Amino acid sequence: MNIFRFAADLLHVFAIATLLLKIWNTRSCAGISGKSQILFGLVYVTRYLDLFTTYVSLYNSVMKVFFVVTSAVAIFLIYVQYKKTYEHDLDLFRIELLLLPCAMLSLVINHEDIVLEVLWTFSTYLESVAIIPQLFMVKKSGGIEKFMIRYLIAFGSYRAIYLINWAYRYIMESHYDLIAIFAGILQTIIYILGFFLLRGVKVVVSDKEEEP
Amino acid sequence: DQDQLTHDEL
């Protein structure tokens, strides 16, 4: 564990907390892509199956459980609790366009042909593109709320800082994982492209957000 | 390469 990894993980937690608190406080999931949240749910579930097979540290296990649980909560809030506020007519990206290539690529390019490893690889590829439905939803709606800007910046910087962590680990520990590095670079590029795609989108303030 | 397959990151 180094400072880059810890800082990145904190940003990851901050991003998720931003999203959940927004839904909770405004009792609305307007502007949030349920499809991206489903993809993130899949990412965490397929990656953290090693909770049952490998123990790394208490920190590691607690964070994994946190990501799986909060992701399930987000999906529950969007599709059950605050279903009426979910803007499904704006959340139109077809997730099979992301799921199928990631599934195929993880079967072809992985570290080892065993189920857990292929699922970990799938999860790593999928995470790099999971934000795309959210970016398209914002683009389609033409407006973005401030919480979503914070969410995207925090989520984008989390993986970018992981890139620094990987460079650091390569230098200090001669440790590297090409699949993680490749996907991390792709993920960071997608967030940067996303910010270009969204420039010109109007920053809106929702009525409910202004309530104390 | 067992070390690489123990994914110790999140």
Q: How confident is the model at residue A129 (pLDDT cuts 50, 70, 90)?
A: very high
Q: List, for residues A132-178, the tens digit of each pLDDT value.
A: 999 999 999 999 999 999 999 999 999 999 999 999 999 999 999 99
| Contact check, Cβ <8 Å, A64/B4 | no
Q: Is B10 part of the contact surface with chain A (CB cutoff 8 Å)?
A: yes
Contacts of residue B9 in chain A, CB cutoff 8 Å? 5, 162, 165, 180
Residues 6+ apart with CB under 8 A from A128: A159, A183, A184, A186, A187, A190
Q: List, for residues A65-86, the tens digit of each pLDDT value.
A: 999 999 999 999 999 999 999 9
Q: Is B2 part of the contact surface with chain A (CB cutoff 8 Å)?
A: no
pLDDT at A209: 54
Chain B interface, best mutation among A16, A124, A177, by max B CB count within 10 A: A177
Q: Is the pLDDT of residue A212 over 60?
A: no
**Cα A119 from chain centroid?**
16
- CA A170, A171, A175 angle in degrees (round to 5)? 25
Helix and strand totals (H; E) in chain A: 8, 2
- Exposure letters A14-27 (e unless 16+ CB within 10 A, then b): bbbebbeebbeebe
Cα–Cα distance for residue pair A92/A108, rounded to 1 Å: 29
Nearest CA in chain B to A12: B10
Q: Is the pLDDT of residue A6 over 70?
A: yes
Q: List, for residues B1-10, the tens digit of each pLDDT value.
A: 445 568 999 9
pLDDT at A208: 59
Nearest CA in chain B to A68: B10
> How does the average pLDDT of chain A come out, rounded?
96
pLDDT at A205: 83
- CA A128, A184, A138 angle in degrees (round to 5)? 40
pLDDT at B6: 80
CA distance B6 to chain A (A): 8
**Chains A, B: CB pairs < 8 Å:** 27
pLDDT at A155: 97
| Contact check, Cβ <8 Å, B10/A60 | yes
Q: Is A61 part of the contact surface with chain B (CB cutoff 8 Å)?
A: no
Sequence-ordered strand ranges (E) for chain A: 143-145, 202-204
Among candidates B3, B5, B10 on the partner chain, residue whose Cβ is nearest the Cβ of A112: B5
